[in-house]
Amino acid sequence: MEPLKTFDVNETSTFSTKKENTNGRNPMKPTGAFIGASWAALLAGTVGYCVGLWNATIQLNEKGYYFTILLFGLFAVISVQKSVRDKAEGLPVTDLYYGLSWFATVASITLLVIGLWNADLLLSEKGFYGMSFTLSVFSAIAVQKNTRDAQLIDAQNI
């Protein structure tokens, strides 16, 4: 078995974000289908979560708690994705911001789990909120990555 080949991102002979294939499309740029699927998943997760909250027979303060957890989680995972990507590209990211981003992500997930664990909801409702939250935060990461990739590719092709 042949060992994996490593490459240097800064070395243009082995890795380039310039157009190189015959159809004129940069292979590093996300496809329209993946971008659309990411946005569709984000909308399905967040709209589903919010519709579930709207129709829930829980107190208004509980609805506010779960809605705030969703917003907090979305912001936190986008922050993590940005700081991880910035570090990978060699851009300066303070350890404080990087750590706070991860802390906020873990805190939002933990707060959702604790809230659902103690809630007087059917098990199916708890599962619905957990899965729609997971879909929302995962797709938010994908949307952020696609946006960043497309902007990077477009900036280099100008």
For 35-72, the pLDDT digits (tens) are: 999 999 999 999 999 999 999 999 999 999 999 999 99
Q: State the DSSP code for 18.
A: S
Q: What is the pLDDT of residues 71-103, one digit of tens each?
A: 999 999 999 999 999 998 889 999 999 999 999
Number of domains in the chain: 1
Band (pLDDT 50/70/90 cuts) for residue 15 is very low
The reported pLDDT for the residue numbered 138 is 96
Torsion angles phi and psi, residue 149, rounded to 5: -60, -45
Residue 28 lies in a domain: no
Using only C-alpha atoms, the chain has a radius of gyration, in whole angstroms, of 20
Q: Is residue 106 part of a domain?
A: yes
* Contact (CB, 8 A) for 93 and 118: no
Q: How far is CA 102 from CA 7, 80, 105, 133, in A?
A: 28, 6, 5, 17
Q: Choose between 149 and 50: higher pLDDT.
A: 50
In sequence order, the 6+-apart residues with CB closer than 8 A to the CB of 2 are none
**20 is a domain residue:** no
Residue 53: give the domain boundaries. Answer: 33-153
Rounded average pLDDT over 139-146? 94
Residue 57 inside a domain? The answer is yes
pTM summary value: 0.79
- Helix ranges (DSSP H) in the chain: 32-55, 60-88, 95-118, 123-156
Is residue 100 one of the residues assigned to a domain? yes
